């Protein structure tokens, strides 16, 4: 949970910094930021959005959100909607590193900073990518399993980084008393 809060905090702090490059708002014009989440029912994204909204409220900003529910086309359309609304910046957790590059291009064409959170993109239009150290996070998690005999592992949705599972599997191999009872990556049980 600490890592979730840290990611939300970092995102909430980095986004305002990226907006310093924008022209200041005039008079009563309220700043609205856009948030495009890969899923709206994932505890990670729920915590992230809660942190973003809390920080935006402190700054007096509005937050417009769109959720793709792991659908690339829906995410692209959602970001295009945020651009059409005139948001001043977009936080996005892209479903696919390449498949939603059109969303980044739409933001760049409108001169709107687009910050990738958790998941990154290969798009040259990505303003910045804010993420956690998956290897260290997994090492910390598996270290907490000392003395346990079995564990289950379930990753996030289909866009979840396979690196986390790989790091967990490697850490488990170093602990001969610990076995992985089952693994679910996205919708597939392995």
Any idea what the CATH number is for the domain that residue 107 is in? 3.40.50.2300
Contact 70, 157 (CB under 8 A): yes
pLDDT number for residue 23: 45
Cα of 107 vs its chain's centroid, Å: 17
Cα–Cα distance measured from residue 97 to residue 122, given in angstroms and rounded to the nearest whole number: 6
Last residue of a domain, one of 98, 130, 162: 130
Considering the domain architecture, whether residues 92 and 52 belong to the same structural domain is answered as yes
* Percent of the chain clearing pLDDT 70 (strictly above): 55
Helix (H, G, I), strand (E, B) or coil at 113: coil
The DSSP symbol for 157 reads S
Cβ partners under 8 Å of residue 34, min gap 6: 63, 64, 65, 66, 79, 82, 83, 85, 87, 89, 90, 91, 112
For residues 10-27, average pLDDT: 49
DSSP state of 71: -
State whether 143 and 169 are in the same domain.
Answer: yes
pLDDT value at 21 more than 60: no
- Is a pLDDT exceeding 90 seen at residue 110? yes
Q: What is the dihedral of CA 142, 159, 67, 133, to 10 degrees?
A: 40
Same domain, 142 and 109: no
Task: Provide the domain limits for residue 171.
Answer: 134-189
Place of tokens 């059109």: 102
144 and 71 both lie in a single domain = no
The whole-number pLDDT of residue 9 equals 46
Q: How many domains, in total, are found in the chain? A: 2
Same domain assignment for residues 43 and 27: yes
């Amino acid at each position: 949970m600490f890592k979730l809060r840290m990611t939300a905090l970092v995102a909430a702090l980095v986004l305002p910094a990226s907006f310093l490059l924008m022209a200041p708002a005039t008079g009563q014009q309220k700043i609205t930021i856009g948030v495009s989440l890969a899923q709206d029912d994932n505890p990670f994204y729920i915590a992230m959005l809660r942190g973003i909204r809390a920080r935006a409220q402190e700054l007096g900003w509005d937050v417009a959100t769109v959720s793709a529910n792991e659908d690339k086309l829906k995410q692209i359309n959602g970001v295009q909607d945020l651009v059409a609304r005139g948001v001043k910046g977009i936080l996005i957790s892209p479903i696919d590193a390449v498949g939603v590059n059109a969303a980044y291009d739409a933001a760049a064409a409108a001169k709107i900073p687009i910050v990738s959170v958790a998941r990154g993109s290969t798009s040259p239009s990505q303003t910045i990518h804010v993420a956690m150290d998956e290897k260290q996070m997994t090492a910390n998690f598996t270290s907490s399993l000392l003395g346990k005999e079995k564990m289950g592992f379930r990753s996030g949705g289909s866009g979840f980084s396979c690196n986390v599972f790989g790091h967990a599997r490697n850490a488990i191999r170093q602990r001969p008393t610990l076995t992985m009872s089952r693994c679910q990556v996205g919708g597939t049980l392995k």
